[in-house]
Amino acid sequence: MIWNHSHLPYTISDDPGQLQHDAVYALLQTTYWAGKRSKDIMMQSIAASFCFGLYHGSEQVGFLRVVSDYATFSWVCDVIVHPEHRGKGLGKWLVEVMSGHPKLSHTNMLLGTRDAHGLYEQFGFQRMEMMRRISPERLRERSDEL
């Protein structure tokens, strides 16, 4: 599906063939949560996810990824808009499109983030405590950094 912004020259697409992997990788490398991921890991994660690309003309300037069973649960992750395109409500639009998508809108959604809580709360996300498991490999990587 393709969505056209009502008054700005931007589109969102859920077509995986439109994703510009180099642009997505460059965006994610600037983040606190994915900055150390290899391109191979990023490609694996995209292949196993439902993704949305944000485009300004033919240039990809944003990304949002969802891991879902499409029945009961969706994990929203890797939400990012290029710094030069922020402040226009594009992140909000990405989340709006994703949360209303017919494949996802009926699922319970989780999101882990340190920032933009106000944005996600507009779409019904609530802060809550949760547990997580870090893989032994990731724990070794972290101990190597110390």
Q: Judge whether residue 146 has pLDDT over 60.
A: no
From the centroid of its chain, how far is CA 104?
Answer: 14
What local confidence, expressed as pLDDT, does residue 112 receive?
78
Residue 50 β-bridge partners: 66
Contacts of 128-131 spanning 24+ positions with Cβ under 8 A = none
Domain boundaries, the chain: 2-145
Q: If residue 117 lies in a helix (H) or strand (E), which one and from where to where?
A: helix 117-121
Amino acid symbol at 128 = M
CATH 3.40.630.30 fits 2-145, yes or no: yes
pLDDT digits (tens, 9 = 90+) for 54-110: 999 999 999 999 999 999 999 999 999 999 999 999 999 999 999 999 999 999 888
pTM of the model: 0.85
Q: What is the DSSP string of 29-95?
A: TTSTTTTT--HHHHHHHHHTSEEEEEEETTEEEEEEEEEE-SSSEEEEEEEEE-GGG-SSSHHHHHH
Q: What is the pLDDT of residue 107?
A: 92
What are the pLDDT digits (tens) for 135-145?
887 777 665 54
Tens-digit pLDDT profile for residues 28-46? 999 888 888 889 989 999 9
Give the pLDDT confidence score for residue 111 in this predicted structure.
86
Greatest mean pLDDT among 1-5, 20-24, 119-123, 130-134? 20-24
What percent of the chain lies above the pLDDT cut of 90?
65
pLDDT at 124: 73
pLDDT at 87: 92
